[in-house]
Amino acid sequence: MTGECSYEAVIRLKGATCAFPRPVVISHLFTPRPNTRPDKSLAVAFLIDTPKRLKTPVIHRKQNSDPISNRYKNAPLPVTFKPPRQLRRMKRKRWVLERETLLALVSSLCCAALLVSFARYEILAKALHHKNSRATDAMEPMEPTPQSSEPYAIKTDELTRKFGEMTAVDALNLRVSSGKIFGLLGPNGAGKSTTIKMLTTLLEPTSGSASVAGFDIVRAPAQVRRHIGYVPQLLSADGGLTGFENLMLSAKLYGMNRAERKVRIAEALEFMGLTESGQRVVKTYSGGMIRRLELAQAMLHRPTVMFLDEPTIGLDPVARHAVWDRLEDLQRESQMTVLITTHDMDEADELCDELAILHQGKVAAVGEPDALKATVGPDATLDDVFVHFSGGSIQEGGSYRDVRQARRTASRLG
Amino acid sequence: MTSARLDARPAAWAESSALAGLFTQTAAIAEVELKKVLRDPTELFTRAVQPVLWLVVFGQVFSRVRGIPTGKVSYLAFMTPGILAQSVLFAAIFYGIAIIWERDLGIVHKLLVSPANRASFVLGKAISSGFRGSIQTVIIYLIALALGIGIRWRPLDIAGVFFGVALGSAIFATFSLIIACIVKSRERFMGIGQLMTMPLFFASNAIYPLSLMPRWLRVIALINPLTYLVDALRGLMIQGGESIHSLPADFGVMAVIFIILATIASRLYPTLVR
């Protein structure tokens, strides 16, 4: 039983009188079902939406001749007659007009957003910032050209990062000359990854400073990001997208316009030998192909400095050589600086113009590969150099996480 | 490919500004997410099972209990918007796990090394979550049709439902992202996600009205964004359904909550890789 009823109706049901000023609305009533014994919960009435704020009413029990009411007359009254605060509102306002306008606004916004995001958002973006585009010609040359003014592509001064008590990178002083391939070697936990994270602005240093491509990593992280490329240790191309779509995402995130995107993506795919597989989902790629795709992603915006975190880990020898070839060609043609971390001494020997061996967050040795070999002994290999400078014993570092990540990479490559 | 070309920086850099960039990047992230969903839509359909159970099993039984004051509508019609909101909540609250997955794969690292605005990563995810919500809305509409529930067919009402669901879905996805940024591991996230969903669901007006709640629960329900989503949907979706608050109030509260959450999430997102 639902609906509006007068105050007398309430009284009749309860077998009691209430001093109500006005009729109330009863939203719902429990009514006794047939063949059940009456009990006190049967007469519960929910009162909602009263026209006026009610004070707790005075309730009178009333003797009357109605047999049903008499049966319940001794039952305690379960109703306090104090509706909840939210429900004590005034009658609903007429806000139909208001709602119509809101909805019209909202739906037009939706449509605009959909339209714009799927088709022509660049036009809007350009229209919004027409003013800025006039200054284009003036602005481009003003951007500092780091290679000419700065002999070092990467320069760190007392760069330090602590994680709680543990010092991962300890007052690191590195100088990486422009246009070189620089190798960062070291056992697990030596601070290579932390160093790369700081140089790529993913992590802030605890103390010290560093500049990449002539920009300070703490004061101008946005500029640093524009001038670097990064290939993470794990195969991080999005497996659910095609190679082309992965590149398109990078191109958009790096702020290229439509014409540039098209040209550069086609070029990059061709350069990395992926033109035929560009429309295939990355899940179906081999490990070497994913690595080359990632190189393509990282080179789209022509970085000054490229960071590669163990670029060939888990790849078979053929794929490894393919990645090295592409990387060397790329470096030669673009004259960019490349910083590589690796455990692989062949890779270091093959690729790097200069090496630094990190040990417990510090530079243990730095120099050209041949020079480093010469310091250790006449017939020394890079392995000997590595063992010599990194202590030679099993290190404390090499956390479980490193191992797990390496294993995951390996399993992804199948 | 010539070496001159390899030196050339993107021409658009000089003319791009923060707002235009944010817009393009957000759209790029959302587009990628949508492509992935559309390429493998099984997830969307499996998500439809739960609301069917709620409406067909739970709803059918509980509509026989006439103890819940639902105003002029039947209990089944009353709970339909609630179940829509619930399925959106349950889908969106686990959205953060995808971000932890992407973090473990290094995708987040790669995104964060790019010069794109940090807010665009959050907003792009929120928009794609809103899109998933719209598909759930279609499913619920179909179930409601099959169950013979009176639906409001006015285009403006339907547009309102879709917008409300998208906004609600964006809120919970962003909330989930914040949790993901704090816990950073899948195992812990699953635990917390499970812990969050039921209280959010039950401390709302999804399957019973606020008026039935004890005072303490009602206070909790009134800070729960799900309450506002359900309230708005109830007024827009079913015939005879009424919102307790006015629609501008419902949408206003949700918009404010979303802006606050998105701001927090944009701040926290870079900490994922530390």
Residue window 9-48, chain B: list those with CB within 8 Å of chain A: 9-17, 19-21, 23-25, 27-32, 35-36, 39-40
Point out which residues pair with A4 in neighbouring strands: A25
Percent of the residues in chain A that have a pLDDT greater than 90, as a whole number? 28
Q: What is the C-alpha to C-alpha distance for residues A140 and A255, in angstroms, rounded to an integer?
A: 15
Question: Is the Cβ of A117 closer than 8 Å to some Cβ of chain B?
Answer: yes
Q: Are the Cβ atoms of A107 and B163 closer than 8 angstroms?
A: yes
Tell me the chain B residues in contact with residue A2 when contact means C-beta distances shorter than 8 Å: 72
Do A161 and A299 belong to one domain? yes
Which of A88, A111, A135 is the last residue in one of the domains? A88
Instruction: Please give the DSSP secondary-structure letter assigned to residue A89.
Output: P
Do A170 and A60 belong to one domain? no
Closest residue in A to B71 (Cα) is A27
**Residue at A74 is within a domain:** yes
Higher pLDDT, A189 or A84: A189
Lowest mean pLDDT among A327-331, A343-347, B119-123: A343-347
Q: Are the Cβ atoms of B13 and A226 closer than 8 angstroms?
A: yes
Q: Is it the case that residue A413 has pLDDT exceeding 90?
A: no
Q: Are the Cβ atoms of A255 and B13 closer than 8 angstroms?
A: yes
Q: Are the Cβ atoms of A233 and B106 closer than 8 angstroms?
A: yes
**Residue at A204 is within a domain:** yes
Which of A88, A111, A140 is the last residue in one of the domains? A88
Do A262 and A181 belong to one domain? yes
Question: What is the tens place of the pLDDT at every residue in A274-293?
Answer: 999 999 999 999 988 999 99
Which of A36, A63, A88 is the last residue in one of the domains? A88
Residue A335 gets the label, from left (phi > 0), alpha (psi -120 to 50) or beta, of left
| Cα distances (angstroms) measured from residue A96 to each of A93, A155, B53 | 9, 65, 34
**Do the beta carbons of residue B84 and residue B59 sit within 8 Å?**
no
pTM: 0.73
Query: Which of A116, A135, A241 is opposite residue B32, by nearest beta carbon?
Result: A241
**Average pLDDT over chain B, rounded to an integer:** 88
pLDDT of A349: 87
Closest residue in A to B160 (Cα) is A103
Do A36 and A176 belong to one domain? no
Q: Are the Cβ atoms of A103 and B160 closer than 8 angstroms?
A: yes
pLDDT of B19: 80
Instruction: Please give the DSSP secondary-structure letter assigned to residue A395.
Output: P
Do A80 and A163 belong to one domain? no
**With a cut of 0.85, is the ipTM above it?**
yes
**Helix, strand, coil % in chain B, rounded to nearest 5:** 75, 0, 20
pLDDT of A404: 60
Higher pLDDT, B221 or A61: B221
Higher pLDDT, A80 or A235: A235
Point out which residues pair with A309 in neighbouring strands: A341
Residue A298: which CATH number?
3.40.50.300
Q: What is the C-alpha to C-alpha distance for residues A119 and B143, in angstroms, rounded to an integer?
A: 33
**Residue at A113 is within a domain:** no
Point out which residues pair with A253 in neighbouring strands: none
Q: Are the Cβ atoms of A100 and B273 closer than 8 angstroms?
A: no
**Residue at A94 is within a domain:** no
Do A308 and A232 belong to one domain? yes
| Cα distances (angstroms) measured from residue A263 to each of A266, A267, A274, A278 | 5, 6, 15, 14
Do A82 and A158 belong to one domain? no
Count of structural domains within chain A: 2
**Residue at A59 is within a domain:** yes
SS3 state of residue A366: strand
Q: What is the C-alpha to C-alpha distance for residues B231 and B227, in angstroms, rounded to an integer?
A: 6
Do A84 and A155 belong to one domain? no
B3 vs chain A: nearest CA distance in angstroms? Answer: 5
Q: How far apart are the first and last CA of chain A?
A: 67
**Residue at A139 is within a domain:** no
Nearest to A236 by CA among B111, B207, B197: B111
**Residue at A248 is within a domain:** yes
**Residue at A121 is within a domain:** no
Q: Other CB atoms closer than 10 Å to residue B28's CB: what's the count?
A: 21
Q: What is the C-alpha to C-alpha distance for residues A285 and B105, in angstroms, rounded to an integer?
A: 16
Question: What is the tens place of the pLDDT at every residue in B214-265?
Answer: 888 888 888 899 999 999 999 999 988 888 888 888 999 999 999 999 999 9
pLDDT of A20: 44
Q: Are the Cβ atoms of B28 and A202 closer than 8 angstroms?
A: no
Q: Is the dihedral of CA A371, A375, A381, A386 positive or negative?
A: negative
Q: Name residue, tokens 């002083």.
A: A173
pLDDT of A228: 93
Residue window 243-282, chain A: list those with CB within 8 Å of chain B: 245, 248-250, 252-257, 260, 267, 270-271, 281
Q: Is B202 exposed, middle or buried (CB count within 10 Å of its CB: 0-12, 13-18, 19+)?
A: middle
- Residue range of the domain that includes A279: 150-413
SS3 state of residue A76: coil
Do A267 and A391 belong to one domain? yes
Question: What is the tens place of the pLDDT at every residue in A201-233?
Answer: 999 999 999 999 999 999 999 889 999 999 988
